[in-house]
Chains A and B, each alone.
Chain A
């Protein structure tokens, strides 16, 4: 990774797998022919199979990985065709990962954890990274139906930082019972197939698919294989409702507005709007209002709206994949001078309330600039602007602030462990364990019953953590005059979780299976999406900036922190990471990797930590410095700091070995210490706070508390208390992923 600043990001590869075609060529031909890929469900048996968008033509039977992984791998391989070097990072938008396989295993009461190894949403990105030889970050964004676009937006920001040259970004999802029955329980499925923006629309058609774009940073000349330019993007949150869009499309409008500003493209230059258009009553109405409002800004009434369409009448709604698939189709449109049709339904007139008129037949015309929309549960909105190469550069540009040298500091912290909320450092000083699960009643303390009645363990943990961290900001910033001390409320949220809301997922599936797949709980479905806790926090605190959920079984905290480092703007933001222990699911999804030397003696544990953060302020810093699988790059990262005469020297290292045996981990640590010449006390943080995916967030929270007190207690290092003045703490993961986070 070099750190030269990059001005332009181009797309040099695309791959797609969708219900109307495998690969770009087939898909383009199908869209040109106005083909529909929606038909009754066959992936699993259902009493009344509803229309869905299924992938046909992949060899499911001989695949060793679940459906989502195979779909993702196929699209990723197409995007990388003819490219000889691996990407520097892989970012995949995912909502359900290996859920379809997991459901079958649960249905047959399979209890061998190894069967569930591809369950986690994060496993898709890791698989794609392995397949493409990527040794950099393999990140997973789970922001429901905007995931694919949000993943591409993160890729754009990472390349703009100058630290990454080539990023493979996209999204993938497969049909599973959770989403099929879940959306049906919300009465959001059209029994006759999705008809976006039509008067008689009744809902969506759940679908599957994958889309990937290879993003490349360009400093000078545009590479020969450039297909299009990713000119800009915008991420916002409605902070309005867990499942319904803001009725006027306020968040959608601000996402589009922010994308247009980021891209420096005039509204008049947009030739095509790729609409989210799911076919649900509320989405289509809110989106049409937002689009009309955007284009009304600079023109006389009625607004002059460019050609627009939603492809979801043809492909169905492939959830996390949809935004990425639509980005690929936008590139196809630019390269082939083509705009796909909304649908070809004779009864497809728009209703009068809908203020836009999507095109009803495919159109052949030059496309120079596309605005592509994706919106999702939790009020997550993502818009991208994709243009002909060099087009955005012809528009007037303003100065962009340099992103790469920002320092991120913590204004408030809160830890949640079995020992309770906050005050973790005190527990450690008294040599008390933090491993275990916090009592459910203690979790709800301070949270109004009406606010949490629908929330189970994980969202309660997150709300409790955020409350604690915000309260802590007023303590840390308290001035001698008590009255002027005020809390800092975050505007953006970056949430990390290994496995998401397990209680909601389990209760949903149990109810479904117990009723012979007749009854489910819509509340549990809405709560089961990985980003639901972050959505709840946004609603409570009115956080309308980017709202990102990153997932990974090994280092979700580092993924959330990394996402924040690239996507947070100048307003205060929240990084929160948590995982719940679930009696039935945790032993299957996240068994102790090394039972013989289990760090916390097999105590079932959960917890997390939250950080209110800012950039450009003083205070104790917190930054993820390395994420990947390249040991040499990790060592070089530490050496570089040494050579740069970093003002703070490491005073302690918190270490864990995710996904590998303790013995193998300790041997890696030995190599690490030898090659970096670091000599400081080592703390095995999972012995402190137990084994769970979010343990490193707790380690970071403990580090912040220790640094604020300036003392490393002797009880932690089997010695005397150590003065930490002017020193930092490194949080190190040496396992299936390698990460280095610096607190100090």
Chain B
């Protein structure tokens, strides 16, 4: 499981840069334990929803509850862990 999460984190870094058009950032710049929303990357609620759409499309994992969303999007690691758990 931990290996799977580590792989997912690397995959998500690339997908996040692409989805959110973070053109001045490389995967190496992203700290998976750092606060995702309102942190250094300048990610806000619209970006989170864009990620929600991407995650549903790519991993068939739905995050349509605000309370769940706040917990899941705390860091990139919490997001990867959630996807790994819910992925079919």
Residues of A at under 8 Å CB distance from B? Answer: 185-187, 241-244, 281, 449-450, 453-454, 515, 518-523, 526
Contact = CB atoms under 8 A, between A and B. Distances in A.
Interface residues of B, number: 18
Contacts of B23: 449, 453
B45 A244 contact: yes
Interface stretch (B3-11, B27-35, B48-56, B73-81): B48-56
Contacts of B2: none
A453 B22 contact: yes
Contacts of A186: 46, 49
A121 B6 CA distance: 49
B64 A526 contact: no
A449 B57 CA distance: 27
B64 A449 contact: no
A281 B46 CA distance: 15
A520 B54 CA distance: 9
B73 to A, nearest CB: 13
Interface of B: 20-24, 42, 44-47, 49-50, 52-53, 56-57, 64, 66
Contacts of B21: 453-454
Nearest to A242: B46
Contacts, number: 42
Contacts of A242: 46
A449 B24 contact: yes
Contact of B64 (A187, A521, A523): A187
A518 B57 CA distance: 9
Contact of B50 (A449, A450, A521): A521
Nearest to A522: B49
Contact of B66 (A185, A187, A449, A515): A187
Given A449-B23, A515-B57, 9 more contacts: A185-B53, A186-B49, A241-B44, A243-B46, A450-B42, A454-B21, A454-B46, A521-B53, A523-B46
A543 B46 CA distance: 22
A519 B53 contact: yes
Given A185-B53, A281-B66, A522 B46 contact: yes
7 contacts: A185-B49, A186-B46, A449-B24, A453-B23, A454-B47, A519-B53, A521-B50
Given A449-B24, A453-B22, A454-B21, A520 B44 contact: no
A523 B22 CA distance: 14
A187 B42 contact: no
B64 to A, nearest CB: 6
A520 B22 contact: no
A281 B67 CA distance: 12
A519 B59 CA distance: 13
A519 B56 contact: yes
Nearest to A523: B50
Given A187-B66, A453-B20, A453-B23, A522 B50 contact: yes
Contacts of A519: 53, 56-57
A242 B46 CA distance: 9
Contact of A526 (B20, B46, B53, B57): B46
A551 to B, nearest CB: 23
Contacts of A241: 44
Nearest 7 A-B pairs (CB), nearest first? A522-B49, A453-B21, A449-B24, A523-B50, A519-B57, A450-B42, A522-B50
Nearest to B22: A453
Nearest to A191: B64
